Amino acid sequence: MLTRRAALTTLAGGLAAPALLSLSRADAIRPLAPAPAFSGTPAIHELTLEAKPRRVKLLGPQGPESTLWTYADEPCPTIRLRRGDRLRATLRNSLAEHTSIHWHGVRVPNEMDGVQFVTQKPVEPGESFLYDFTVPDTGTFFFHPHCNESGQVGHGLVGVLIVEGDESRPFDDELVLVARDWRLDRDGSFLPFGTDSGAARAGTFGTIRTVNGVTNFARKVPASADLRLRLLNLDATRHLDVGVEGAVALVIAIDGNPVEPFRLDSWRIGAASRLDLVLRTPKAGGKVLVRDYFPAEIHDLAVLEAEGQDRRATDFDPAPLYASSLPEADLARAETQAYVFGAASDAIASFIDTLDPDDPLSKVILDDLCTASRTFWAINKRSWPNDGHRNLPPPLARLKAGESYRFVLQNATPHPHPIHLHGHTFKVLSSSKRQIPVHHADTVLVLPKERIEIAFVATPGRWMFHCHILEHLETGMMGYFANS
Q: Which stretch binds Cu ion (CB under 5 A): 82-90, 115-123, 134-142, 467-475?
A: 467-475
In the complex, minimum distance from the CB of residue 165 to ligand C2O, in angstroms, rounded to a whole number: 23
**With CB cut-offs between 5 and 8 Å by kind, which of ligand C2O, Cu ion, none does residue 472 bind?**
Cu ion
Q: Using CB under 5 A as the criterion, what x/- string covers residues 373-412 for binding Cu ion?
A: ----------------------------------------
C-alpha radius of gyration, the chain, whole number = 22
In the complex, minimum distance from the CB of residue 367 to ligand C2O, in angstroms, rounded to a whole number: 28
Binding flag, residue 420, ligand C2O (CB under 6 A): yes
Nearer to ligand C2O by Cβ, of 378 and 464: the residue is 464
Residue-by-residue DSSP string for 250-296 = EEEEETTEEEEEEE-S-EEE-TT-EEEEEEE--STT-EEEEEE-SSS
Using CB under 6 A, pick the residue from 83, 102, 228, 268 that binds ligand C2O: 102
**With CB cut-offs between 5 and 8 Å by kind, which of ligand C2O, Cu ion, none does residue 422 bind?**
ligand C2O
Using CB under 6 A, pick the residue from 54, 83, 104, 201 that binds ligand C2O: 104
Binding flag, residue 238, ligand C2O (CB under 6 A): no
Q: Which stretch binds ligand C2O (CB under 6 A): 7-15, 324-332, 361-369, 463-471?
A: 463-471
Binding flag, residue 59, ligand C2O (CB under 6 A): no
**With CB cut-offs between 5 and 8 Å by kind, which of Cu ion, ligand C2O, none does residue 464 bind?**
ligand C2O
Binding flag, residue 466, ligand C2O (CB under 6 A): yes
Q: Which stretch binds Cu ion (CB under 5 A): 1-9, 86-94, 194-202, 461-469?
A: 461-469
Instruction: Give yes or no for a contact between 224 and 312, defined as CB atoms under 8 angstroms apart.
Output: yes
The alpha carbon of residue 446 and the mean position of all alpha carbons in its chain are separated, in whole angstroms, by: 14
Instruction: Return the beta strands (E) in 29-127 as ranges.
Output: 44-56, 66-70, 78-82, 86-93, 102-104
Binding flag, residue 419, Cu ion (CB under 5 A): no
Q: Is 182 helix (H, G, I), strand (E, B) or coil?
A: strand
Using CB under 5 A, pick the residue from 417, 422, 427, 440 that binds Cu ion: 417
Q: Which stretch binds Cu ion (CB under 5 A): 29-37, 116-124, 246-254, 463-471?
A: 463-471
Using CB under 6 A, pick the residue from 201, 268, 274, 422 that binds ligand C2O: 422
Burial profile 124-148: b = 16 or more Cβ within 10 angstroms, e = fewer: eeeeebebbbebebbbbbbbbbbbb
Binding flag, residue 472, Cu ion (CB under 5 A): yes
Binding flag, residue 467, Cu ion (CB under 5 A): yes
Instruction: Give yes or no for a contact between 470 and 202, defined as CB atoms under 8 angstroms apart.
Output: no
In angstroms, rounded to a whole number, what is the distance separating the alpha carbons of residues 12 and 473? 44
In the complex, minimum distance from the CB of residue 478 to ligand C2O, in angstroms, rounded to a whole number: 8
Binding flag, residue 462, ligand C2O (CB under 6 A): no
Q: Which stretch binds ligand C2O (CB under 6 A): 47-55, 128-136, 174-182, 460-468?
A: 460-468
Amino acid at residue number 87 = L
Q: Using CB under 5 A as the criterion, what x/- string covers residues 89-128 for binding Cu ion?
A: ----------------------------------------
Of 118-147, binders to ligand C2O (CB under 6 A) are: 144, 146
Residue 366 buriedness (CB in 10 A; 0-12 / 13-18 / 19+): buried
Of 304-363, binders to ligand C2O (CB under 6 A) are: none
> What sign has the CA pseudo-torsion 420, 426, 427, 430?
negative
Nearer to ligand C2O by Cβ, of 417 and 422: the residue is 422
Using CB under 5 A, pick the residue from 252, 469, 470, 478 that binds Cu ion: 469
In the complex, minimum distance from the CB of residue 422 to ligand C2O, in angstroms, rounded to a whole number: 6
Q: Give 386-419 as a 3 state SS string.
A: CCCCCCCCCCCECCCCCCEEEEEEEECCCCCEEE
Of 144-163, binders to ligand C2O (CB under 6 A) are: 144, 146
Residue 433 buriedness (CB in 10 A; 0-12 / 13-18 / 19+): middle
In angstroms, rounded to a whole number, what is the distance separating the alpha carbons of residues 312 and 300? 27
Binding flag, residue 234, ligand C2O (CB under 6 A): no
**With CB cut-offs between 5 and 8 Å by kind, which of ligand C2O, Cu ion, none does residue 227 bind?**
none
In angstroms, rounded to a whole number, what is the distance separating the alpha carbons of residues 287 and 211? 17
In the complex, minimum distance from the CB of residue 355 to ligand C2O, in angstroms, rounded to a whole number: 31
Q: Is 123 helix (H, G, I), strand (E, B) or coil?
A: strand
Residue-by-residue DSSP string for 201-220 = TT-PPPSEEEETTBSS-EEE
In angstroms, rounded to a whole number, what is the distance separating the alpha carbons of residues 264 and 252? 10
**With CB cut-offs between 5 and 8 Å by kind, which of ligand C2O, Cu ion, none does residue 466 bind?**
ligand C2O
Q: Is 365 helix (H, G, I), strand (E, B) or coil?
A: helix
At residue 370, φ and ψ (nearest 5 deg) are -60, -45
Using CB under 6 A, pick the residue from 231, 464, 469, 477 that binds ligand C2O: 464
At residue 115, φ and ψ (nearest 5 deg) are -115, 115
Q: For residue 389, how many other CB atoms are within 10 A of its CB? A: 18
- The residue ranges that bind Cu ion (CB under 5 A) are 417, 467, 469, 472
Residues that bind ligand C2O (CB under 6 A): 102, 104, 144, 146, 272, 420, 422, 464, 466, 468
